[in-house]
Amino acid sequence: MAISYLESIVVGALQGVSELFPVSSLGHSILLPAWAGGKWADDLSMSAKDSPYLALLVAMHVATALALVIFFWRDWVRILRGLWDVATTRQIRTPEARLGVLLVIATIPVGLAGLLLEKLVRHYLGNPIPTSIFLAINGFVLLSAELMRKREHEPEFRFSSPTGRTGDLSMEDTIVLPMTDPDRASDVRLSRLSIRDATLIGAAQIAALFPGISRSGSTIVAGLFKGMRHEDAARFAFLLATPVILAAGVLKMPELFKHENHAILGPAFAGSLVAGVMSYISVKFLTAYFETKTLTPFAIYCLVAGLGSLVWFSIR
């Protein structure tokens, strides 16, 4: 069984977009070959014995994580400096240090769940019908979050200070920040999440173990329920996803270099390159998109695609 360059490039483009858009990359990676049928369904099957498809997706996930690192490199430099300062001084002295600590803590739940549940979930649910159902559920959750948000009065971003004081983020809290650096201003707002809220938002990524449920969508929705702005919730989702995707990819990368997968190394490189480029374009688009817009279009898409796929694969 060999995966062609065309198959790998198409899957790479799909991975690069769907991993960061709140529409589930895993769900689309299962539905695409099922919709295409024929050779594509055989070559790109997760359930087939000795299928190299999962190894291919692992390489593309690493490319996506690297694209996120490149896009947010200034943020990661500040965060890593902050974490180094915490490690050497045993104190949290800057917003970036606190944000780094929050990201580490928020990553723990999904890391543990992934190690325990990923193979089990994919083995039993990694086929088109369950995936279609979860994709529709993903759309319903996204739409419900937006509808509930509209019914509320102006949501407030709640935070806990390093001293434990809880309050509302006001202009007085941000006026010392350079107004020409909105990225750092957003990082400072994110650093004021409480440990409990950051952990709950991070744990929302566990839902993405189910094919059809979006990692970014789950995290953004959890952030919205905590009163965060769309752009802050999306930014936290992308920062939070970076170490998770990168660690999972690096952990499984040796599978790609097994002897039986040598035939797909070329296509895997080509597809990963496309995935990385598309991921960078996607995160650049989405960070600007969520400054003024909502999850509603993605919710409608997931509902239509999920329910349509469910009907189609149920009657075939």
- With CA atoms as reference, report the closest residue to 228 among 238, 220, 216, 240: 220
Q: What is the pLDDT of residues 154-189, one digit of tens each?
A: 444 444 444 444 333 333 343 344 446 788 888 899
DSSP symbol at 226 = T
- Model confidence at 126, pLDDT cuts 50, 70, 90, reads confident
Residue 145 is predicted with a pLDDT of 94
- Structure-derived torsion over alpha carbons of residues 283, 119, 133, 268, reported in degrees to the nearest 10: 40
d(CA 312, CA 316): 6
Residue 129 is predicted with a pLDDT of 94
Joined together, the tokens standing for residue 137 give: 């559920």
Q: What is the pLDDT of residues 205-242, one digit of tens each?
A: 999 989 999 999 999 999 999 989 999 999 999 999 99
Q: List, in sequence order, every beta strand (DSSP E) within the chain.
A: 158-160, 166-168
Average pLDDT, the chain: 87
**Contact yes or no for 271/61 (Cβ under 8 A):** no
Identify residue 273 by its one-letter amino acid code: L
Give Cβ neighbours of residue 181 (< 8 Å, ≥ 6 apart): none
- With CA atoms as reference, report the closest residue to 301 among 206, 214, 207, 202: 214
pLDDT surpasses 80 at 36: yes
- Model confidence at 134, pLDDT cuts 50, 70, 90, reads very high
pTM of the full structure: 0.87
Q: Which residue has the higher pLDDT, 179 or 18?
A: 18
% helix / strand / coil in the chain, to the nearest 5?
Answer: 75, 0, 20
- With CA atoms as reference, report the closest residue to 198 among 135, 107, 106: 106
Q: Which residue has the higher pLDDT, 121 or 101?
A: 101
pLDDT surpasses 80 at 91: yes
DSSP symbol at 2 = -
pLDDT surpasses 70 at 81: yes
Percentage with pLDDT > 90 across the chain: 65
Q: What is the pLDDT of residues 285-305, one digit of tens each?
A: 999 999 999 999 999 999 999
Helices and strands (DSSP H and E) totals, the chain: 14, 2
